[in-house]
Amino acid sequence: MAAAALLRRLPAARAQAQAPAFMAARPISDSTAALTIETSVPFTSHLVDPPSRDVTTTPAELVTFFRDMSLMRRMEIAADSLYKAKLIRGFCHLYDGQEAVAVGMEAAITRSDSIITAYRDHCTYLARGGDLVSAFSELMGREAGCSRGKGGSMHFYKKDANFYGGHGIVGAQVPLGCGLAFAQKYKKEDTATFALYGDGAANQGQLFEALNISALWKLPAILVCENNHYGMGTAEWRAAKSPAYYKRGDYVPGLKVDGMDVLAVKQACKFAKDHAVANGPIVLEMDTYRYHGHSMSDPGSTYRTRDEISGVRQERDPIERVRKLLLTHDLANAAELKNMEKEIRKQVDDAIAKAKESSMPDTSELFTNVYKKGFGVESFGPDRKEMRASLP
């Protein structure tokens, strides 16, 4: 059965989410029979009863998880090579190791829900339905990029899928995410916003201010701390007096999740959305790990040992966990999964070649998209016009 046929048999929202980017390999099992799998470790909760460890999935979904995360991993490895070849310039923050967060979150929600994140954003863009060509084009500053080649690695967007970006200012996306949640509640949409940030940004004052107003107004905001245990070369224990980030909301419920277990992430995000829509904000701490350094200028090995990195790869890697599930439940064999990975590698290589054909933005584009046309004093009411006129 072709991959498109598999996608048609998944729920509509998942099919739309995956079809643009993930469609190379044939499905190994297309069964939609319910399958219950226990999460790797229990959830740890604060001010709320945790969800069940028993997660309902299907063979088809597990195959999709494996394919999606493998494609994300290959994309990030390719981005590393492109950066070293100087085809990607400026900042570049890679997500390999953390794929289960992006994929598990997308499996639990719909495109009507919003996601906003920091600068480690490539894989979230793919999970929201972005395609490889526009991703690589953006990374290389080409016109075919998702931000027309003007945003680069840190500023991926997909507004039609309610993905509001990549943001370069540490922690600044969290108040914006709470603003999105305010709009959702104001419009009575029964949707939620997932505002992602890292353990380094967890100490930002604006995060606590935004969480406070969200709790007061019971906004459907889910603050997701992707705790990969290291900020910009600094271990969490050196930067945070209390690294139990799921408790940081104090008066706001929290949940600690194994962010390397895609099924645990799916279960937690579904639970968090239901809670947020009904009761207001909740904090999720995703216990995850990045294999690369903080950015491409960081070798990632001066403040942690290579044994630590290889240990996580061997014991907790999110892709290998799903591979083991597929093999254990006889949903695929090793050779079939290897063939799928070969097809993914070709898909990535073809996308890079096509992205290289896209032209660079014209120099005149430097001055576009800076101001919104028509926005001036005339846009304000009488009181605001007076206030604006008094400004220097």
pLDDT at 14 over 80: no
Q: Which of 134, 100, 104 is nearest to 21 (CA)?
A: 134
* Mean pLDDT score, 250-279: 98
3-state secondary structure of 181: helix
Q: Which of 53, 54, 61, 57 is nearest to 28 (CA)?
A: 61
What pLDDT was estimated at residue 151? Answer: 95
What pLDDT was estimated at residue 376? Answer: 55
Whether 157 and 164 have beta carbons less than 8 Å apart is answered as yes
Domains of the chain: 3-363 (3.40.50.970)
CA dihedral 102, 107, 111, 114 (to 10 degrees): -50
pLDDT at 111 over 80: yes
What pLDDT was estimated at residue 64? Answer: 97
- Report CA 346 to chain centroid distance, whole Å: 24
Query: Beta strand pairing status for 254-258 and 44-46?
Result: antiparallel
User: pLDDT tens-digit profile of 297-351?
Assistant: 999 989 999 999 999 999 999 999 999 999 999 999 999 999 999 999 999 999 9
Q: Which of 11, 7, 8 is nearest to 21 (CA)?
A: 7
Partners of 230 in beta bridges: 235
Whether 193 and 114 have beta carbons less than 8 Å apart is answered as yes
Higher pLDDT, 25 or 242: 242
Give the C-alpha separation, 109 to 220, whole Å. Answer: 13
What pLDDT was estimated at residue 5? Answer: 40
Q: Is residue 54 exposed (0-12), middle (13-18) or buried (19+ Cβ within 10 Å)?
A: exposed
What pLDDT was estimated at residue 140? Answer: 98
Give the C-alpha separation, 296 to 321, whole Å. Answer: 27
pLDDT at 391 over 50: no
**What sign has the CA pseudo-torsion 192, 277, 182, 282?**
negative
User: pLDDT tens-digit profile of 187-226?
Assistant: 999 999 999 999 999 999 999 999 999 999 999 999 999 9
What pLDDT was estimated at residue 13? Answer: 40
CA dihedral 230, 236, 238, 244 (to 10 degrees): 180
Between 9-13, 111-115, 132-136, the lowest mean confidence (pLDDT) is in 9-13
Give the C-alpha separation, 91 to 240, whole Å. Answer: 25
Query: Beta strand pairing status for 221-227 and 282-287?
Result: parallel
Task: Report percent pLDDT > 90 for the chain.
Answer: 84
**What average pLDDT is seen over the chain?**
90
Q: Which of 352, 296, 350 is nearest to 142 (CA)?
A: 352
What pLDDT was estimated at residue 368? Answer: 87
User: pLDDT tens-digit profile of 317-327?
Assistant: 999 999 999 99
Q: Is residue 298 exposed (0-12), middle (13-18) or buried (19+ Cβ within 10 Å)?
A: middle
Integer angstrom CA distances of residue 7 from 1, 22, 272, 317: 11, 10, 26, 25
User: pLDDT tens-digit profile of 355-387?
Assistant: 999 999 999 988 888 877 765 545 545 544 444
A 10 A CB-CB count for 371 gives 9
The whole-model pTM stands at 0.88
